[in-house]
Amino acid sequence: MSEARARLLSTASGLFYAEGLHSVGIDRIIATAGVTRATLYRHFPGKDDLVVAYLTLADEAIRARVDAARSRDALPEDVIRTVARSIADDIRGPGFRGCAFLNAAAEYPDPAHPVHRAVLGHRQWFLAAITELFTDTGKPDPEPAGRHFAMLRDGAMAAGCLTDPEPICATFLRGVEGLLEYRSGLGPDDGA
Amino acid sequence: MSEARARLLSTASGLFYAEGLHSVGIDRIIATAGVTRATLYRHFPGKDDLVVAYLTLADEAIRARVDAARSRDALPEDVIRTVARSIADDIRGPGFRGCAFLNAAAEYPDPAHPVHRAVLGHRQWFLAAITELFTDTGKPDPEPAGRHFAMLRDGAMAAGCLTDPEPICATFLRGVEGLLEYRSGLGPDDGA
DNA sequence: GGTTGAGTAGACCGATCGTTCTATCTACCT
DNA sequence: AGGTAGATAGAACGATCGGTCTACTCAACC
């Protein structure tokens, strides 16, 4: 928890997210953080561990936001809406560069690699969390609904940094709303 | 069109797609292709140009498949279904590693970079093509429908290489079908 | 028959990669 | 007062990066 370690992780996160994992070297990180090589290797065994720490940080931040939405809104539908709105805010926000996890997976395809596994872990949690929210709504077929939500999210985050984010956010939020609203008229056996 | 150039581009494409752009070096490419360094630099000014050529190849392949679907099916709805099915087949196929363009954009965030611009070009074409297909159906709001389709596609391709592709394909195809079917009951002014 | 273009083979460039090392300094804890 | 942990500074490691270079071979074409 030393100050140098915090500065290191913070600047590394910024650089990794903005420019990519392989494009950012150790030299850039320590120079930007104003820290020595030895200090980095005191806190992190290697670059891979620094990347994993970066993803862990992002994972915790997102979990915290979902938890906050959970405790703020009473109805599970509203929690889902709040989560969707927070995703849209991210996409609209300055410096948005897509999903940190999808970007990481693109650079680390090997399923056995710690970085790739960190991505898988986060995505597994997210799908379970959003599916649970759909379950809480009491509507039929929460599982395909959760998958549908996650798919829209992935697509929105992937596209949001490549063109004008406004129409992407509009499409995403409308898709989520449709997923939420029109399912209420459905029976339990006609899919999603 | 020399044989060496074709071999070069083909093996480079395979390596780039499977392992990432920055992870694959010139040495690996020429060794795998069984070609000399000088031969590579005779046909491509630099690595960036090789990457762009790889994306151009992928772009042309996809355009050809959409054209084929266009000329095979009579109804625009069926063309859309055929395109969606071909995307699902890709995701299910062996060695699927996500969308080559989204992966490339993750590694080349700079909008001015030729590789990034190639990604943008492909995506711009795809959105226009799919929107045109929705326009041809005569149903209302083809533009948001096209955007919705593209978003589902992006999400499906991003997720398809991270977990079991089967449920992802199911969610994608069901989403497209919903987009196609339930829109027929809508008026012109209630969004998508 | 000579020129030209495409290919092979391989040395070589500077730069950067991630990593390890020694040495010194400083602040805090007992 | 002494010891330890965390930080600084900076040299050095081998490996690899993308790219350039010279020298030689071979086949096709005018």
pLDDT in tens, A42-80: 999 999 999 999 999 999 999 999 999 999 998 999 999
pLDDT digits (tens, 9 = 90+) for B156-178: 999 999 999 999 999 999 999 99
The enclosing domain of A103 has a CATH number of 1.10.357.10
Together in a domain, A7 and A68:
no
In terms of residue numbers, what domain contains B22? 1-44
Where residue A37 sits, what CATH number does that domain have?
Answer: 1.10.10.60
Looking up tokens 């005779």 gives B42
B116 touches strand C (CB under 7 A): no
Q: How confident is the model at residue A4 (pLDDT cuts 50, 70, 90)?
A: confident
Residue B3's pLDDT band, with cuts at 50, 70 and 90, is confident
Domain co-membership, B118 together with B147: yes
CB atoms within 10 A of CB B43: 16
Least CB-CB distance to B175: which of A20, A22, A151?
A151
Choose among B107, B123, B171: nearest Cβ to A147: B171
The tally of domains found in chain A comes to 2
pLDDT 10s digits, A21-37: 999 999 999 999 999 99
Regarding whether B82 and B105 lie in a shared domain, the answer is yes
Note whether A21 and A108 are same-domain residues. no
- Residue A190 inside a domain? The answer is no
CA-CA-CA-CA torsion sign (B102, B107, B111, B113): negative
Residue A34 lies in a domain: yes
**Could you tell me if A94 and A146 lie in one domain?**
yes
| CA pair distance B140, A8, nearest whole angstrom | 52
What secondary structure does DSSP assign to A17-51, as a single string? Answer: HHH-TTTS-HHHHHHHHT--HHHHHHH-SSHHHHH
Q: Return the pLDDT at A184.
A: 55
Q: How high is the pLDDT of residue A192? A: 43
Q: Do A151 and B168 touch (CB under 8 A)?
A: yes
Q: What is the mean pLDDT of residues A147-160?
A: 98
Question: What's residue A182's pLDDT?
Answer: 63
Of A106, A124, A153, the CB nearest to B106: A106
Are A39 and A54 part of one and the same domain? no
Instruction: Tell me: do B119 and B161 sit in the same domain.
Output: yes
Work out the average pLDDT over A4-31.
95
Distance CA B44, CA A162 (A): 27
Indicate if the pLDDT at residue A96 is higher than 60. Answer: yes
pLDDT given for residue B182 in this prediction:
63
What is the average pLDDT across A118-126?
98
> Is the pLDDT confidence value at A189 over 60?
no
Same domain, A82 and A125: yes
Q: Exposure pattern of A45-59 as b/e (b: 16+ CB <10 Å)?
A: eebeebbbbbbeebb
Does the pLDDT of residue B102 top 50, yes or no? yes
Percentage of the residues of chain A whose pLDDT score is greater than 70: 94
Count of A-B CB contacts under 8 Å:
125
Q: pLDDT band for position A178 (50/70/90)?
A: very high
B62, B150: one domain: yes
Angstrom distance, A171 CA to D3 C1':
63
Average pLDDT over residues B8-19: 96
End-to-end CA distance of chain A: 46
Instruction: For chain B, give the mean pLDDT.
Output: 93
Please report the pLDDT score of residue B2 as a whole number: 82
Q: Compute the average pLDDT of residues B14-34.
A: 96
Q: Which two tokens stand for residue B112?
A: 């001015």
Phi and psi at A9, nearest 5°, equal: -65, -40
Specify whether A172 is located in the same domain as A89: yes
Question: Chain B interface, mutation test: which of A17, A51, A131, A154, most B Cβ atoms within 10 Å?
Answer: A154
Does strand C come within 7 Å of the CB of B5? yes
The C-alpha of A8 sits at a distance from chain B's nearest C-alpha, in angstroms, of 22
- Does A191 fall in a domain? no
